[in-house]
Homo-oligomer: A and B are copies of this chain.
Amino acid sequence: MTETNVRVLFVKRPVGWVDETSFAVVHEPLRPPGPADVVVRNVYLSVDPYLRGRMAGAFREGEVMVSRGVGEVVASGHERWKPGDLVWGFLGWEQYSVVARGEGLYRVDPSLGVPISYYLDVLGMPGLTAWVGINVIGRPEPAETVFVSSAAGAVGSIAGQLARLAGARAVGSAGSAEKVRHVLDVLGFDDCFDYKASASLPESVMGACPNGIDVYFENVGGPILEAVLGHMNPLGRIAVCGMISGYNTTQDPGVKGFAHILGKRLTVSGFSIYDHMWRFDAWQPKMAELLTSGRIVYHEEIWEGVERAPEAFIGMLRGDSLGKRVLRVGADPTA
């Protein structure tokens, strides 16, 4: 336990790009837990794009920033948890979090043989998202082509590797030459192009996918989606995991090529990982085995110190990260 708690508060709703003025780092005494509460010493915290949306709505000014984290139980009034247990779930951007009645905490199993930080990404929500999109929705067959947008991202980097494990050809798009190199050289995709440097997205897609696209793992929407729709093969599948386009149809430019869904008998499936949480227990050991055997490679970029969370988050939003960015905010008891 500790006398003081270093915390990152959300203090100002951003307009446009987020900057440091949305956050304040404070040193406060740890709030005394209630009788059934669980106190977690935070070890790893995740910075993710979806937090930007919460800063526009769900988060309240003056409260601590919250994202997924991994930690160690140091005190518990709840029968499910005892000191020394490793957990993951929503935790504050702070050294210690008091979790009311331990709600929303899940168990971390260090015996799976992978870093416990992986519960924030490849063995957590992003990893399962990639798995569902490829192995439940897209279901590529050997020799089919799978196209993944945001191929260097936390989800896309896993999706493409799972496609290759299924025997398919994995092709991606990414937003810089450095990311393209990472996708090709480290992640082992069969092809990848820099969409920001493309003079014609349809031509870039066609060039990278000479046999057409059988499965599209959709992370971005917009012009890449339109280019892909025109290059899908008959009976292709599109797993819609994320889209930049908003819901406000008055500003929505529309998606051209929708009629390809009919003409090519495509199946387009939007999905949310929250519909698939029941898969976690059976899936995590399978994914851990793919990681420990080296068939899936994963790259985390570890930053040190909770007070650097705003900087890490802001830079990630601007696209300066390669692979998943994770903050280490306390000693890892398994390291």
- Residues of A near any B CB (own CB < 8 A): 221, 225-226, 230, 235, 240-243, 245-247, 249, 252-272, 275
- Closest chain B residue, CB of each to CB of A261: B270
A266 to chain B: which residues have CB within 8 Å? 268-270
A243 to chain B: which residues have CB within 8 Å? 258-259, 262
Q: Across the interface, do B268 and A247 meet the contact criterion of CB distance under 8 Å?
A: no
A258 to chain B: which residues have CB within 8 Å? 221, 225, 243, 245, 252, 254-255, 258
- Report the bound CA distance from A262 to B252 in whole Å: 14
A246 to chain B: which residues have CB within 8 Å? 259
A269 to chain B: which residues have CB within 8 Å? 261, 265-268
Q: Across the interface, do A252 and B259 meet the contact criterion of CB distance under 8 Å?
A: yes
* Residue from A240, A241, A264, A271 with most neighbouring chain B CB atoms (10 Å): A240
Q: Across the interface, do A261 and B268 meet the contact criterion of CB distance under 8 Å?
A: yes
Q: Across the interface, do B275 and A265 meet the contact criterion of CB distance under 8 Å?
A: yes
Chain B nearest CB from A218 CB (Å) reads: 8
- Report the bound CA distance from A260 to B262 in whole Å: 18
Number of copies: 2
A255 to chain B: which residues have CB within 8 Å? 254-256, 258
Chain B nearest CB from A235 CB (Å) reads: 8
Q: Across the interface, do B257 and A256 meet the contact criterion of CB distance under 8 Å?
A: no
Q: Across the interface, do A247 and B270 meet the contact criterion of CB distance under 8 Å?
A: no
Q: Across the interface, do B270 and A270 meet the contact criterion of CB distance under 8 Å?
A: no
Question: Which of B245, B249, B257 sits near A252, CB closer than 8 Å?
Answer: B257
Q: Across the interface, do A249 and B268 meet the contact criterion of CB distance under 8 Å?
A: no
* Residue from A245, A249, A254, A257 with most neighbouring chain B CB atoms (10 Å): A249
- Report the bound CA distance from A110 to B172 in whole Å: 56
Chain B nearest CB from A271 CB (Å) reads: 5
- Report the bound CA distance from A83 to B191 in whole Å: 60
Q: Across the interface, do B252 and A256 meet the contact criterion of CB distance under 8 Å?
A: yes
* Residue from A245, A269, A275 with most neighbouring chain B CB atoms (10 Å): A269
A225 to chain B: which residues have CB within 8 Å? 258
Q: Across the interface, do A245 and B221 meet the contact criterion of CB distance under 8 Å?
A: no
- Report the bound CA distance from A230 to B247 in whole Å: 9
A241 to chain B: which residues have CB within 8 Å? 262
Question: Which of B245, B262, B270 sits near A267, CB closer than 8 Å?
Answer: B270
Chain B nearest CB from A239 CB (Å) reads: 10
Question: Which of B242, B245, B259 sits near A245, CB closer than 8 Å?
Answer: B259
- Knowing A245-B258, A259-B243, the reply to whether A270 touches B265 (Cβ < 8 A) is yes
- Knowing A267-B270, A270-B264, A272-B265, the reply to whether A230 touches B259 (Cβ < 8 A) is no
A226 to chain B: which residues have CB within 8 Å? 249
A270 to chain B: which residues have CB within 8 Å? 260-267
